[in-house]
């Protein structure tokens, strides 16, 4: 199955290019952002050696739907999606933090908790919690945006403001927007029989000083979902939750002695494993949107991507 790995386009009036872990970002006239969701997959801040069929399309199309569903709550960057893997939006200056919000003790927070830690990003977690248990109220645990080759780092609200990464005034807006977006995400997930467990949001500021939501939201790369119908029973029995997220990839890597640490090797990604990951991404798309995913391999063509973008900028 063909996949999208790297792109190397040169568009009219292109001023910048950035290759992230998963996305390729082109800036046009310092006015528009063209974001291409590739089929690369990362875990523990490491890009894995093989791509996942349809993953980029899944991410881009979920994000498109979720941005549309939340635009009345928080303004966002998206202007057009001329191709299943492409989003075009307004250029802005990103804040150098990710606003991570957690409704449940799971993932990174649970790993820290199980090591005996009760504070994450300056936020205290209650004693006596079970893994996967709901927090008394959602907590925001920001992290720094990693530069190339580095890991994201937990950071407190106080340190963000003290270091001048974000002003106090702007941070309060980010905080308000994060809680509002998460609440809407919880409601949207509930309609589909899911629980939005945790997620992250990224924000930027436009040239006229307006704070807007950027990048993807509520996708399996940025979020974690549990199935609602079995949540209470599995929690009571202290069993792993049925979930839709990238966590199953992380768990597979952990079981094969890889957490992105120096000297560790990524385990072999067989065709069977790649197909399994692809199907899990598609499952999340169908569960969270309530729609059937269209596998159109003809769209996985760099020429068609370039033509779609050039017809829209």
Cβ pair 109, 125 in contact under 8 A: yes
| Within-domain flag for 40 | no
Q: Is the pLDDT of residue 150 over 60?
A: no
What pLDDT sits at residue 146?
62
Task: Let me know if residue 129 belongs to a domain.
Answer: yes
- DSSP-assigned states of every residue in 114-153: HTT--EETTEEPPTTPPTTPEEEEEEE--EEPPPTT----
In terms of residue numbers, what domain contains 187?
A: 94-245
Residue 32 lies in a domain: no
End-to-end CA distance of the chain: 30
Q: Is residue 298 part of a domain?
A: no
Task: Measure the CA–CA gap between 28 and 12, rounded to whole angstroms.
Answer: 8
Q: Please name the residue that has the structure tokens 């068609």.
A: 304
Do 62 and 285 touch, CB atoms closer than 8 A? yes
- pLDDT score, position 245: 81
Distances (CA, A) of 231 to 57, 119, 195: 29, 25, 9
Q: How far apart are CA 210 and CA 227, in angstroms?
A: 36
Residue 33, domain member (yes or no): no
The pLDDT of residue 149: 47
Q: Give the containing element (helix H, strand E) for 64.
A: helix 55-70
In a domain, 256, yes or no: no
Could you tell me if 155 and 146 are in contact, meaning their C-beta atoms sit under 8 angstroms apart? no
Both tokens assigned to 88: 């075009």
Q: Is 140 contained in some domain?
A: yes
Number of domains within the chain: 1
Q: What is the pLDDT of residues 243-300, one digit of tens each?
A: 888 888 989 999 999 999 999 999 999 999 999 999 989 988 999 999 999 987 777 8
In the prediction, which pLDDT does 284 show?
A: 85
Q: Which residues contact 240 (CB under 8 A, 6 or more apart)?
A: 132, 234
pLDDT for the residue 147: 59
Portion of the chain with pLDDT greater than 90, in percent:
88
pLDDT of residue 179: 98
Instruction: Give domain status of residue 138, yes or no.
Output: yes
Residues with Cβ within 8 Å of residue 215, at least 6 apart in sequence: 35, 63, 77, 202, 222
Q: In residues, how long is the chain?
A: 313
> What is the domain-level CATH number for residue 222?
3.30.470.20
Residue 298 DSSP code: G
């Amino acid at each position: 199955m063909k996949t999208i790995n790297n792109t190397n386009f040169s568009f009219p009036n292109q001023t910048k290019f950035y290759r992230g872990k998963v996305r390729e970002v082109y800036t046009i006239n310092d006015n528009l952002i063209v974001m291409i969701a590739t089929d690369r997959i990362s875990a523990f801040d490491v890009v894995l050696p093989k791509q996942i069929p349809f993953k980029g399309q899944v991410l881009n199309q979920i994000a498109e739907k979720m941005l549309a569903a939340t635009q009345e709550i928080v303004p966002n960057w998206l202007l057009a999606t001329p191709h299943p893997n492409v989003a075009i939006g307004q250029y802005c200056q990103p804040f150098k933090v990710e606003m991570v919000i957690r409704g449940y003790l799971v993932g990174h927070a649970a790993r820290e908790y199980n090591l005996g830690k009760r504070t994450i990003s300056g936020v205290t977690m209650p004693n006596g919690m079970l893994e996967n248990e709901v927090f008394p109220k959602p907590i925001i645990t920001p992290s720094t945006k990693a530069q190339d080759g580095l890991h994201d780092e937990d950071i407190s609200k106080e340190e963000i403001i003290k270091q001048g990464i974000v002003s106090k005034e702007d941070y309060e807006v980010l905080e308000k927007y994060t809680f509002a977006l998460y609440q809407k995400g919880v409601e949207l997930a509930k309609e589909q029989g899911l629980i939005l467990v945790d997620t992250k949001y990224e924000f930027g500021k436009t040239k006229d000083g307006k704070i807007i939501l950027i990048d993807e939201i509520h996708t399996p790369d940025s979020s974690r979902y549990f199935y609602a119908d079995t949540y209470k029973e599995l929690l009571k029995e202290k069993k792993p939750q049925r979930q839709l997220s990238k966590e199953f990839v992380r768990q597979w890597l952990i079981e094969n002695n890889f957490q992105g640490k120096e000297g560790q090797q990524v385990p072999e990604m067989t065709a069977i494993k790649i197909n399994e990951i692809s199907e899990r991404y598609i499952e999340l798309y169908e569960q969270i949107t309530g729609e059937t995913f269209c596998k159109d391999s003809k769209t996985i063509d760099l020429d068609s991507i370039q033509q779609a973008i050039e017809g829209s900028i």
